Structures are given as C-alpha cells and as structure tokens.
Amino acid sequence: MIRLISILAGLFFTVALGWALILGVVGLAHDGLPTSAEKKFHEHPKELALASDGMFGKFDRQQLQRGFQVYKEVCANCHAIKLVAFRDLKALGYNEDEVKAVAKGYKVPAYNPGMGEMKTHDGTMADHFPPVVYAGQGSPPDLSLITKARHGGAAYVYSLLTGYQNPPADLPKENQPGAGLYYNPYFANLNIAMPKPLTSDGQVSYKDGTKATVDQMAQDVSAFLVWTAEPKLEKRHQTGWAVLGFLLFATILAYMAYRNVWADKKGH
Ligand code: HEC
C-alpha cells in the first residue's frame, strides 16, 4: 500500500515537472528568445533610489508634483494615464482649486445618451485623464501602470529616458535602428519608436526651484509613475507594520498563556 502511494506520488511529481517543462518550451517558442546581439547590448536598469522605496518608504510629494509637471508638459503629448482621476491629484499636495484648474485644461470625451453622440467637456474633479490621440510611429502605452508592468519598475523608466545613445560601432546590421526608431540599450529589442522625450536641461521650469536637468526630470517623472501605479503604497506599508505589530503582540500573549498554564505542571 505504502509502495503504491509512493509510486503514485512520484508519478504525480514527474507529470507536474514534465508539464511545467512543456509549458516553458511552448512559452519560449511563442515569445522568442532574445537574439545574441540583443543579449550582448541590452543593459539592465541603472540604480534609482526613491523616497518610496523599502518598507518605510513614503512619497516625496514635492518630487511627485515635479514629476506630474514633467508628465503633463512632455509625456502627455503621447501617453495617457487613464486610471488616474483628476481628484486623485489632491494626494500630491495640490489644493482643490489647483486640481480643478488642471482638470479644466483637459477635454474629456463624453457620450450624450439623449442625442446619441460623442461630445467633449472640460475636465472636472470626477473625470479621469482622457485618452491621447497619437499620430506618430508606434503606439505609446498608457503609463498608469507602467512601473508595475515592466521589470525594474521606476528604475527601468528612468534608465529608458536617460538611455538614448548612438549605436555602438560593433552593433550588427540587423540591430541598427531603422527609420523612425532610436537606439536605446535599456529597451528590450534595443530600438524604440519613442523619440527621446527629455532632450535638454530646463525643458520644464520647476516652481520649487529645483534645477530641471534631464536626469532630475527623468527621476521625478519615474517617481510620479510609481504613484500612479500604486497611490495607496504608504497605506500598504502602514498596514503591514500594524499587522506585524499585532502578530508580535499575539505571540507574546500566547507565550505568556503557555507559561501560565504549565507553570505548576513542569519542573518536577
Ligand atoms: C512623441 C511621443 C512621445 C512622447 C512625448 C513620450 N513618449 Fe513614451 N513612447 C512613445 C511611443 C511611440 C512608445 C512606444 C515605443 C515602442 O514600442 O517602440 C513609447 C513608449 C514608452 C514607454 C514604454 C517602453 C516599454 O518598455 O514598452 C515608456 C515607459 C515611456 N514611453 C515613457 C515616457 C515618458 C515618461 C515620457 C515623458 C518624459 C514619454 N514617454 C514621452 C511616444 C512618446
């Protein structure tokens, strides 16, 4: 009986492993392996330290506001952040009037059920950032969740923005950027359809006096995109600590109860 059970268990694990292998191979065949040149020239994201990192991480609201400014003045020409509502911006430290003013600057599409037609109206607190009409090459993804969707998160976005460079001399011909593509070793296939968006220092003027170098703007907008992807990050950290505290308390209590219950039954 025991024998049969162990054989069955062994069989189960063998089948499970075999199945995982088949899935893996099919997945690879489907996605394709990076070519050897892609592997050689591709670079891993640079280091980026943000205030929101780690278990104690909190957002630097000044930086989020700067990042939003970069998004609004540069990235918003091509990228939407459709999961963000205008009223969410209050969490960055803007007051009601400032947020209303931002919302008003956007035209939001709205379906008019009475007339059966699409119209637009000025954005209000309750609206989300509207879709962006883009006519260039490639398709700019919505950026709301991009720091969650890409390996490396904010560091990847930062590296991508600051990673444009001339193709190296020994880059094989088939990896050279074609028309409308730009060499960027942080992008998976080395050539990206996004023209370098942050091109010169001072491209935006920060209200808080921070120098708007390309590097600074790239860091700030990456920090902002961490917030769009997880606006409740601070809450999550807080809850985590509260739960840990409670567990610790419960453990101590249980230990004390154990000591108490066994106090006169042991030690003789
Ligand atoms: C002129 C239009 C344009 C502007 C401005 C622009 N982008 Fe893009 N972006 C694109 C396009 C097009 C793609 C798709 C590229 C591709 O798939 O090759 C893209 C892709 C991306 C990606 C995804 C890369 C990936 O891994 O798939 C990120 C992140 C990104 N942009 C961030 C930004 C940020 C941040 C800004 C502002 C600082 C910005 N973009 C400004 C056009 C633009």
In ligand 1, the atom with minimum distance to the C-alpha of 181 is 18
Q: Measure the CA–CA gap between 62 and 186, rounded to whole angstroms.
A: 28
pLDDT at position 203 is 97
Q: Measure the CA–CA gap between 97 and 99, rounded to whole angstroms.
A: 5
How far is residue 65 CA from its own chain's centroid? 17
Q: How far is the CA of 198 from the centre of ligand 1 (A)?
A: 11
pLDDT at position 268 is 53
Q: Measure the CA–CA gap between 228 and 82, rounded to whole angstroms.
A: 10
Q: Measure the CA–CA gap between 113 and 252, rounded to whole angstroms.
A: 61
Q: Which amino acid is at 99?
A: V
- Residue 112 tokens read as 């008019």
- Residue 146 tokens read as 């991009």
- Residue 203 tokens read as 């491209």
Q: Measure the CA–CA gap between 226 and 212, rounded to whole angstroms.
A: 19
* Contact in structure between 93 and 65 (CB atoms under 8 Å): yes
- Residue 98 tokens read as 């400032």
Taking CA atoms only, the protein residue closest to ligand 1 atom 3 is: 78
Ligand 1 pocket member 177 (CB < 6 A): no
* Contact in structure between 126 and 100 (CB atoms under 8 Å): no
Q: Measure the CA–CA gap between 129 and 108, rounded to whole angstroms.
A: 8
| pLDDT, tens digit only, all 268 positions of the chain | 889 999 999 999 999 999 999 988 888 777 777 778 888 899 999 999 999 998 889 999 999 999 999 999 999 999 999 999 999 999 999 999 999 999 999 999 988 888 888 889 999 999 999 999 998 889 999 999 999 999 999 999 999 999 999 999 999 999 999 999 999 999 999 999 999 999 999 999 999 999 999 999 999 999 999 999 999 999 999 999 999 999 999 999 999 999 999 988 866 5
Taking CA atoms only, the protein residue closest to ligand 1 atom 2 is: 78
Residues 6+ apart with CB under 8 A from 41: 168, 171, 175, 185, 190
| Residue 187 CB burial class (10 angstroms; 0-12, 13-18, ≥19) | buried
Query: What is the sign, positive or negative, of the torsion defined by CA atoms of 197, 199, 205, 207?
Result: positive
Ligand 1 pocket member 6 (CB < 6 A): no
Q: What is the CA radius of gyration of the chain?
A: 26
* Contact in structure between 230 and 239 (CB atoms under 8 Å): no
* Contact in structure between 158 and 219 (CB atoms under 8 Å): yes
Residue to probe by mutation, ligand 1, list 73, 77, 78, most atoms within 8 Å of CB: 78
pLDDT at position 267 is 61
